[in-house]
Amino acid sequence: MISALDQIFVHLKGWLLFLIAGAPSWLIQIVSSLINIVAVLAVFLTLFALISVLERKVLARMQNRYGPNRVGPFGLFQPIADGIKMLIKEDIVPARADKVVHFLAPVILAAIAILTLGVIPYGRNMTPFTINGGILFFFAVGSVTELAVFMAGWASNNKFSMLGAMRAIAQMFSYELPLIIAVLPVVMVVGSLVPDRIVAAQGGYTLGVVPRWFVFTPWGATAFLLFFVSGLVESNRTPFDVPEGESEIVAGHMTEYSGFKYATFFMAEYLGMFAVSGLAVTMFLGGWRAPLGVLEFVPSYVWFFLKLSALLFVYIWLRATLPRTRVDQMMNLAWKFMLPMAFTCVIAAAVWHYAGRGLRGWLWALLVIVVVYSALSVLLDTRGKFARRIYRFAE
């Protein structure tokens, strides 16, 4: 019974393919792929609609206000109202804009986010597209985001749009390096670029209680934090939403977009956030595995989406808590701190592996990270830059 509930969606797909069992093999492969695509789109577009209203309600509670509560019970139909509004709004394109590129930019951005969602294992035997270099595919496809953002800024024929696009590309390039390097220790320790094998390598429990997730190692915890912060930047989320600094450059590369094109940018940002969070769950938090052995009766996909929901809540929490950073502060953090720490995680993972992956390796890896972190703290002493401010008011 437990196994049947865990594999219910796998069995459902098998039943649908059984209906066309006599068809040519190429047709069966096409139908199988279409089923996976429809399932991924249905799940994450529904999640996008839910998170768009839940984020506003959670932010409202954190800021002591109500949030959306007019459309439907408890305001849950607000995404439907927003979607209708975006569909019927006038699509305004600047007269001198490159209309073809202006149209393609949000489409490409959304397509990239959807493609990256296809290689993440959402449960036992529930990876939409299993390929040998799944992690490599994720980053290769995700790197096209910069091109789509540049297309949006350049095609708009607007100085603010172009400036916003350049800022977005600069921060994306800067934080893609620690994002990718933070994943290298996991790939190196597992010896595979296949997400399913990475999840399998995190199976079992130490002393029967502590799960063998990589986040419970010194190098894994550090790499997870670096990956999470880099994911915030790649998703243009607070406190790193510099490209959309409305007080400085209106709305960045989206300044000249309206209606459903703007909604597509908005959707692509959230889908990218889902993809990065899903990869963080896969690489560091055990993927679909249960935190305790006695809880393995819960379906594997439930554990994955619970972990994903926890990370998404942290995204919302940070948005409600932190102010926007300056561009120079963000770049300094990437190049002077996060990049060296990402390389340190690679060295610490190697030390942990060759020291036997036991307590001795754990302590040696922790020592490597503490030494480098302490050295960077001394070299990058910022007490002078962020000194205590004294405000003087006229009497």
Name the pLDDT band for 132 (thresholds 50, 70, 90): confident
Instruction: List the helix and strand counts (H, then E) for the chain.
Output: 16, 2
- Contacts of residues 49-58 at CB distance under 8 Å and 24 or more positions apart, as own/partner, are 49/79, 49/80, 49/83, 50/79, 51/270, 51/312, 52/78, 52/79, 52/82, 52/270, 53/78, 53/79, 54/316, 55/316, 55/319, 58/313, 58/316, 58/317, 58/320
Query: Each residue of 74-130: pLDDT tens digit?
Result: 888 999 998 898 888 888 888 888 889 999 999 999 999 999 999 999 999 899 998
> For 211, phi and psi rounded to 5 degrees?
-65, 150
| Residue matched to tokens 């540049």 | 150
Percent of the chain whose pLDDT exceeds 90: 47
| Contact of 172 with 145, CB cutoff 8 Å | yes
Closest CA to 5 of 281, 301, 306, 304: 301
**Backbone dihedral region of 75: left (phi > 0), alpha (psi from -120 to 50 degrees) or beta?**
left
Q: Where are the alpha helices (DSSP H) in 89-238?
A: 99-116, 134-142, 145-155, 159-190, 195-201, 218-234
Quote the mean pLDDT of the chain.
88
| Contact of 349 with 188, CB cutoff 8 Å | yes
| Contact of 168 with 253, CB cutoff 8 Å | yes
> What pLDDT is stored for residue 108 in this prediction?
92
Q: How far apart are CA 357 and CA 369, in angstroms?
A: 16
Q: Which residues contact 279 (CB under 8 A, 6 or more apart)?
A: 116, 120, 135, 138, 183, 195
Q: What mean pLDDT do residues 212-221 have?
A: 94
> What pLDDT is stored for residue 249 in this prediction?
61
Query: Each residue of 137-187: pLDDT tens digit?
Result: 999 998 888 899 899 989 988 888 888 888 888 888 889 999 999 999 999
> What pLDDT is stored for residue 6 in this prediction?
84
User: Which tops the pLDDT comparison, 24 or 282?
Assistant: 282
* Identity of residue 276: V
- Answer yes or no: is pLDDT of 28 > 70: yes
Query: Each residue of 91-105: pLDDT tens digit?
Result: 888 888 888 999 999
> What pLDDT is stored for residue 247 in this prediction?
62
Q: How far apart are CA 35 and CA 16, in angstroms?
A: 9
Q: What mean pLDDT do residues 24-33 have?
A: 89
For residue 172, give Cα distances in angstroms to 126, 146, 289.
30, 7, 31
Query: Each residue of 226-276: pLDDT tens digit?
Result: 999 999 988 888 888 877 666 666 677 888 888 888 889 889 989 999 999
CA neighbours within 13 Å on the CB side: how many for 114?
18
